Structure 1
Amino acid sequence: MSDITLPMIRRSVWVCFTFVSFAVGAGGVKGQSTPPDARPDAADLLPASVVAYAEVPRLGAVIELVSNHPLGEKIGSMPAAQAVADSDQLRPLRDATAAFEGGMGRPWDEALSVLTDGGIHLAFDASSQGAALLVRSSSRDQLERFRGVVLALAQLGQGDFGIARQADYRGFTAYAVNDDVKLALVDDWFLMTNKPELGKSIIDRYLDGGNDSLAVSPSFKSSMADTDAATAKAYINLDTIRQAGVAPRLYAGKTDNIAAEALLGGIVANLAHTPTAVAQLDVQPSGVALTLSTPHRPEWTAGREYYFGENSDASAPPLLEVPDQILAISTHRDLSQMWLRAPDLMTDKANEDLAQADTNLTTFFSGRDFGEDILGSLAPGIQLVVQRQTFAPQSPTPAIKLPAFALQFNMRTPDETTREFRRVFQNLVGFINVVGAMQGQPQLDLDFRQTDSATLITASYVPPREEDDLDTIPINYNFSPTIAFAGQRMILASSTNLARAIADSAASTDAAATQPNTIAVLNVDPMADALRDNQAQLVAQNMLEKGHGPDQADAEIGVLFDLLALFENATVKLDVENDQLRLMTEIRVKTE
């Protein structure tokens, strides 16, 4: 037997002996027991000065759901997943799992379910600058075993085997994990903290009660009132964090660029005033949903009425729907008001850049003010759609196939706005042709088309001639820029086919009030199909960047498609409802 193997075996035997010793033999002094009906919750034990709190009430239910989910078998059968599970990179995890199971005396999933059947709770306290972990279990045996596992792992990491340092506080034994971290069993609670004074205050509340706990904090009670059914939940006291000067730029109320302002301006304004924030995670067989919510008042977003509307009740237009739709976004934004109020909403550097852009755009639009006249001619509301693009057999097909995309706006004065944007679109196509000719790019050919429902001004690249020396069709041929006018709707599209599909579709009659402020939906199957259209290019790129052979590169790209096949769609919604600002993200998986 080699010199390397013998020390490893000796160390493994010592680790197993330490686990068993701590898990089975370490008893400590039992504290005063509390009647079951009087046992406090974690929030009753934590101080009111806690600024961040997270809880997983039923970890065992989550483990059971994930373990029995139909996707589990699919993922486990993937060659890539099997290769990762057997790889050396996961050996430390396999060893740790085996050690945990040995110390707990049962399989890891069963051990975690019993150990945490009263919930896992994590908190950060501003007063003591300490963190605390509280785990509640119905099994004292599992708590004692877990204490032994934690202490054994700590000693293994420090290379200092022996009896852990101990101290007594009000009848409970505290063990030193290291110089900073201490743990104790408080009847049916496992307590670990990096600040002794925080741990003592928790024990004091356990024994004596008190009216200075997190549970009696009005902001905590009101924020967590509707989270009982959540798989996991978290609370943050933003008032205290702001007063402490943490991340001041986050609460400054200003953003650095116009795109960030349009996307996040209302949220930034709300964060500068809202006292608390709550996160709620819900895990279901159909998928996962994460909801972030904060209190909201219209006066907090004064100057940003373009974002939520005058009374914070503005709704987005309905989502556009087209075949092979990858992404659809709809949002309420008054672009004119945002542009005009930008000096008060953005940083000085961003305003300098914006002033230069405003001058150039005003010149481009023949002296008409861009913010007031051009953007002002569009009603609040933006609709975006992205579609997998297909090409007719007789048309040039580019080597790299990009999705088509389009924006739709509603015009306040259709006749006047149509003339203005039609002229600007033609000028833009002419400008692109001049610049493209200087760079040897193909030229755009303008055309006018009239359908029963719309007028389209199209621009398509002139097809390559047979004598042109082209190894591949350039990426330019993904585009046939088009502007379409259908009643009060104006459509700007990268593809004529997409513009026609939107223009010919009937405008939705759904009531605006049924829509959130912002909604986005990503459909995974069309996105995977769009990537599959470019699989040869993805494989070639993988070979160049990672030096893989064709088979290895193809297999690695195949893993991406296998993973995408597990998901159905993802949805993001932002809305104000019942004086609450809510941002919800939901990912749905395929259950069959």
Structure 2
Amino acid sequence: MRGLKSLLLTSVVALLIGGWQGWCPAGDIQSTTAWIPQNAVATLVLKNPTSLIEQWEKSPLRQAVESNPGFRAALANPGLKQADALVGLVEVHTKKDRWTLLKQLLGGGLFVAALPRGEVLVIAEAQDGQLLRDVHEFLLGLAKLDAENKGQPDRVKSADYRGVTAWTFGGDEIHAIVENRLILTNKPDLMKQIIDRIQDSRGGGLRDNPKFAAAAKATADHNLVLYLDLETLRALPNVAKGLEQGRQPLPILLLAGTVTALQKAPWLAVGLSIEGNRVKGTLQTGEVAEWPSTLSFAVTSPEDGVLPPIHVPGTVLTASFYRNLRDFYAQKNELFPERTSGLIFFENMMGIFFTGRNFTEEVLAELEPYVRVVVAAQRYAPEVGTPAVQLPAVAVVFRMKNPEKFQPVVEEGFQNALGLINFVRGQDAKPGMILDRPVYKGVKYTLAYFNPDPEGDKEHADIRFNFSPVLACRDRDLILSTAEPLAKDILDALAAQEAAVQSVQKAVTTQLEVLGTQIVRLLELNKEALIAQNMAEKGHSREKAEQELSQLLTVLKLLSELRVTESFRDRSNRWDFQLELTRP
């Protein structure tokens, strides 16, 4: 049993990892999905993996993974070492290397399904049915020989059912070979059900499930597909509890459509495909008959959408959202009834900053539903110095409805907030910020900054020098930034966008881009601080802390750029993403 499981595990891992370097068109999965019971809660389908195996075998990415210390340490696990030895014996027996074995034993596809009562079904479709039977007989012989050498009873058992022989190596597993497919499950009754379905050419399998058919259509272009029956999953107590716990303000604000879809949609499908060094994916939910009215703050009309993301030098992350903040906050009692007291406290604080104005109707109502966020690496003035810990700068860009009316209001609120910060810092005997009103390319903005320390270490300055908050207004755009250089870069970017006359992206509610190279750069700049933190929190030696950071950087260096888009179409929620990989 352990040998068969190890071979299967090795195959699955190799195929899934292999998916990072090659893609082939989706194959016909209809005949095999007809064998899977219709009530499958979760189903993973890997179609036509032969090309994936071939690409992974010669991929430089495989060499990078195999040279990683963490990966090598994992291979030292006794179970994996035993599996590797077993695969070596199969190679000798068949006179085929493991890559050829994988292609011929699993090249037709791999299907893994979980059913409601704890049943698990795995179907591996071989290109060479005779090779599958030959390897199976060899493994049976090894299991019998192992028991004999140890003086133990033969663990291998078999039984016939309707002309099909089912085998077990002991424990909960039972498997059979039908045509060119290996069927593996943990329940004898499920095996009988599968054999009945095959022998009787019976319908009613997963192929005939309308929800699965819709999910398969939505992910037809992808090679790896995961299907979830949300209606069945929501009936499970732990899942229902988890969905309720997900109703927190920030997740709802950022992922409103997805959170709601998980609570109301009939199904969810995730599809992945590979094109060279590019991983493309889709996450889509089934149609929701009626979206709740409380979701209106995050749903666009067909003609509306997000503004273009803002790109500046050193961008780590840039995002653009369609979010009606006034509607979101006005519905706080319906969205978060258990958090009302905390939100009331927040509203009272906003009332202080905005001198008694109604935060919903006199502040948030003055903003259009376009919100953009930029995170970027910092640049530091020589007279200030470089902080020992370098934090990225963060900025949020809103669009005002009535700039002439609202700009003085937000200016007052910004200065009130800075005054409170200075008051608190003064109580702790810490330096406060100085306010200024400089001008950049015709835009006058409000700046708060810390005076440089004339006696301080310019190469290891205090962490406070990461912050020079800015409020700037350019036409209808309102910029709140944690650092002055980023605010200036955004002003330049907005001017360039205006010149290009860029419009909204219709029906899109979220667009996000992440630059992996900049994340790596930030981590490397803060290497000493991260090592010290690791040693303090985990009690590691410096050598161990450096090793963990090195492993993290090795992985991150493979990730070049991630792009994510969310949209609402045909009453369903859809996420599309694209990940660019860097060859090691």
With normalisation by structure 1, the TM-score equals 0.85
Range moving further from structure 2, 537-546 or 187-196: 537-546
Q: Which runs of 5+ in 1 are unaligned?
A: 1-14, 20-37
1:27-57 CA-partner distances (Å, limit 9, x unpaired): xxxxxxxxxxx99711111232223221111
Distance apart, 1:483 and its partner CA: 0.4
Query: Secondary structure of 1:212's match?
Result: coil
1:360 aligns with 2:349: yes
Whether the aligned pair in 1 keeps the contact of 2:387 and 2:459 (CA below 8 Å) is no
Whether the aligned pair in 2 keeps the contact of 1:183 and 1:193 (CA below 8 Å) is yes
> Which residue in 2 is equivalent to 1:315?
305
1:296 aligns with 2:287: yes
Distance apart, 1:416 and its partner CA: 1.5
Aligned pair partner of 1:371 in 347, 356, 360: 360
> Which residue in 1 is equivalent to 2:467?
479
Whether the aligned pair in 2 keeps the contact of 1:317 and 1:515 (CA below 8 Å) is no
Distance apart, 1:225 and its partner CA: 2.0
Cα 1:101/1:500, change in 2 over 3 Å:
same
Distance apart, 1:262 and its partner CA: 0.3
Whether the aligned pair in 2 keeps the contact of 1:290 and 1:585 (CA below 8 Å) is yes
> Which residue in 2 is equivalent to 1:266?
257
Aligned pair partner of 2:489 in 501, 506, 512: 501
Distance apart, 1:258 and its partner CA: 1.7
1:329-370 CA-partner distances (Å, limit 9, x unpaired): 111111110000111112x32122112222232233111111
Whole-angstrom distance in 1 between the partners of 2:238 and 2:147: 33
Query: Secondary structure of 1:209's match?
Result: coil
| Aligned ranges 1:111-130 → 2 under 5 Å | 111-126=101-116, 129-130=118-119
> Which residue in 2 is equivalent to 1:32?
none
Aligned pair partner of 2:517 in 501, 525, 534: 525
Whole-angstrom distance in 2 between the partners of 1:257 and 1:86: 39
Aligned pair partner of 1:569 in 561, 570, 577: 561
Distance apart, 1:559 and its partner CA: 4.0
Range moving further from structure 2, 236-245 or 278-287: 236-245
Query: Secondary structure of 2:419's match?
Result: helix
> Which residue in 2 is equivalent to 1:98?
85
Range moving further from structure 2, 395-404 or 543-552: 543-552
Cα 1:503/1:471, change in 2 over 3 Å:
closer
Query: Secondary structure of 2:313's match?
Result: coil
> Which residue in 2 is equivalent to 1:512?
504
Cα 1:43/1:74, change in 2 over 3 Å:
closer
Whole-angstrom distance in 2 between the partners of 1:207 and 1:219: 25
Query: Secondary structure of 2:384's match?
Result: coil
1:442-492 CA-partner distances (Å, limit 9, x unpaired): 1211100223342210011011243x7999522111100010010000000
Which amino acid in the other structure matches residue 110 of structure 1? T
Query: Secondary structure of 1:490's match?
Result: strand
Query: Secondary structure of 1:300's match?
Result: coil
> Which residue in 1 is equivalent to 2:476?
488
Whether the aligned pair in 2 keeps the contact of 1:154 and 1:178 (CA below 8 Å) is no
Whole-angstrom distance in 2 between the partners of 1:341 and 1:519: 24
Whether the aligned pair in 1 keeps the contact of 2:303 and 2:507 (CA below 8 Å) is no
Whole-angstrom distance in 2 between the partners of 1:390 and 1:75: 34
Query: Secondary structure of 1:162's match?
Result: coil
1:393-436 CA-partner distances (Å, limit 9, x unpaired): 22232211111111000001101111011111112222211211
Distance apart, 1:145 and its partner CA: 4.3
Whether the aligned pair in 1 keeps the contact of 2:386 and 2:458 (CA below 8 Å) is no
1:172-222 CA-partner distances (Å, limit 9, x unpaired): 111123343211111222111122222112112212212322212222222
Whole-angstrom distance in 2 between the partners of 1:293 and 1:197: 33
Whole-angstrom distance in 2 between the partners of 1:241 and 1:86: 36
Aligned pair count reads: 551
1:244-283 CA-partner distances (Å, limit 9, x unpaired): 556223555x854321220222222222221111111112
Whole-angstrom distance in 2 between the partners of 1:86 and 1:336: 52
Superposed CA RMSD: 3.2
Whether the aligned pair in 2 keeps the contact of 1:59 and 1:117 (CA below 8 Å) is yes
Aligned pair partner of 1:133 in 122, 138, 143: 122
| Aligned ranges 1:104-503 → 2 under 5 Å | 105=94, 106-126=96-116, 129-148=118-137, 160=152, 162=154, 164-243=156-235, 247-250=239-242, 255-297=246-288, 299-309=290-300, 311=301, 314-346=304-336, 348-466=337-455, 472-503=460-491
Range moving further from structure 2, 557-566 or 521-530: 557-566
> Which residue in 2 is equivalent to 1:11?
none
Whether the aligned pair in 1 keeps the contact of 2:156 and 2:170 (CA below 8 Å) is no
1:132-155 CA-partner distances (Å, limit 9, x unpaired): 111111323332245357767988
Distance apart, 1:317 and its partner CA: 1.6
Q: Which runs of 5+ in 2 are unaligned?
A: 8-27
Whether the aligned pair in 2 keeps the contact of 1:384 and 1:408 (CA below 8 Å) is yes
1:104-147 CA-partner distances (Å, limit 9, x unpaired): 53322221211112211112233x65221111113233322453
Whole-angstrom distance in 1 between the partners of 2:513 and 2:178: 47
Cα 1:140/1:461, change in 2 over 3 Å:
same
Whole-angstrom distance in 2 between the partners of 1:267 and 1:149: 48
Whether the aligned pair in 2 keeps the contact of 1:69 and 1:285 (CA below 8 Å) is no
Distance apart, 1:530 and its partner CA: 1.7
Cα 1:439/1:243, change in 2 over 3 Å:
closer
Cα 1:340/1:137, change in 2 over 3 Å:
same
1:479-519 CA-partner distances (Å, limit 9, x unpaired): 00010010000000011111111123314532213572111
Whole-angstrom distance in 2 between the partners of 1:499 and 1:461: 17
Query: Secondary structure of 1:303's match?
Result: helix
Query: Secondary structure of 2:203's match?
Result: coil
Whole-angstrom distance in 2 between the partners of 1:43 and 1:230: 16
1:85 aligns with 2:77: no
> Which residue in 2 is equivalent to 1:31?
none
Whether the aligned pair in 2 keeps the contact of 1:101 and 1:111 (CA below 8 Å) is no
Whole-angstrom distance in 1 between the partners of 2:544 and 2:105: 43
